[in-house]
Amino acid sequence: MNRAQLKEYLDAKVEQYNVPDFIPHDPIQIPHLFTDKKDIEISGFLVATIAWGNRKSIINNSHKWMDLMDQSPADFILNHEESDLERFDGFVHRTFNSEDCKTFMRALKHIEVNYGGLENAFAKAYLETSNLQHSISLFKKYFFEIEHLPRTQKHVSDPMKNSSAKRLNMFLRWMVRKDNAGVDFGIWNKIPLSELSIPLDVHTGNVARKLKMIKRKQNDGKTVAELDDFVRKLDPQDPAKYDFALFGVGVFNDL
């Protein structure tokens, strides 16, 4: 396929997979349980944090996390006392354990109290760096300003250490992308849609290579930049929409 044919193919796949029917099969279903902006962004951030491995397990553990927060994530984050975190003893998702979980909730309270919330924290980092991948790295510094175990830092990826930061790029897509499809929320206004990167994982990476969109073999930060360069030529205003095409084709063997 030449560039024009590939764009036509990918645009058709975006139309096919960027639909409400996508929601029940994806972790994005959890923040879709809520209508309040703070509930959506906090639940979305927590769900994205554990979005690796078996999808059924991700979704089940995300529901469990919301249940432990009384299905009121924003209220819990803002108003919990230290003793309230005891209920999370035993919570685990793969290598993300109960101490990591408690640290994340303390850190989110810190972000709410000292930065005015997740959107303002990411926007501040973006204003300082003018690059969304660099801003993820700076956000990580804000997030871990509280006391924490060193092991917990691995659960917030750092693009400046060549991480693909798949889960954070996915979270940012959820919050920033605006369209009429009803999947992404588009509730953040302080970060440009054009700056979003595709959340690079095994599926998106393999499909992008088969379609000759990228050459690098690894799924790392350099490959994210290579894929960014390609999709931003296809659609400079909304490059991250092609995540639906690449992910859908990869997961459903639709190539």
CB atoms within 10 A of CB 122: 27
CB 197 within 8 A of CB 133: yes
Q: Which domain holds residue 101?
A: 3-251
Residues 6+ away with beta carbon under 8 Å from 122: 135, 136, 139, 172, 188, 190, 191
| Separation between Cα atoms, residue 171 and residue 47, nearest integer Å | 9
Question: Token digits for 163?
Answer: 């991480």
| Separation between Cα atoms, residue 33 and residue 36, nearest integer Å | 10
Local structure of 96: helix, strand or coil: strand
Could you read off the pLDDT tens digit of each residue along the chain, which spans 255 residues?
A: 899 999 999 999 999 999 999 999 899 999 999 999 999 999 999 999 999 999 999 999 999 999 999 999 999 999 999 999 999 999 999 999 999 999 999 999 999 999 999 999 999 999 999 999 999 999 999 999 999 999 999 999 999 999 999 999 999 999 999 999 999 999 999 999 999 999 999 999 999 999 999 999 999 999 999 999 999 999 999 999 999 999 999 887 777
Taken in order 242, 55, 32, 163, is the CA torsion positive or negative?
Answer: negative
Q: What is the pLDDT of residue 251?
A: 83
Q: What is the pLDDT of residue 130?
A: 95
Q: What is the pLDDT of residue 252?
A: 77
| Separation between Cα atoms, residue 175 and residue 45, nearest integer Å | 9
Question: Token digits for 74?
Answer: 């924003």
Residues 6+ away with beta carbon under 8 Å from 206: 250
CA nearest neighbour of 193 among 176, 180, 179, 172: 176
| Separation between Cα atoms, residue 44 and residue 32, nearest integer Å | 9
Q: Give 179-197 pLDDT, tens digit per residue.
A: 999 999 999 999 999 999 9
Phi, psi torsion values for 214, nearest 5 degrees: -135, 155
**Maximum Cα–Cα distance for the chain, whole Å?**
60
Look at the chain and report how many structural domains it folds into.
1
Q: What is the pLDDT of residue 33?
A: 98
Q: What is the pLDDT of residue 255?
A: 73
| Separation between Cα atoms, residue 212 and residue 210, nearest integer Å | 5
**Beta bridge pairs of residue 93:** 96
**Beta bridge pairs of residue 96:** 93
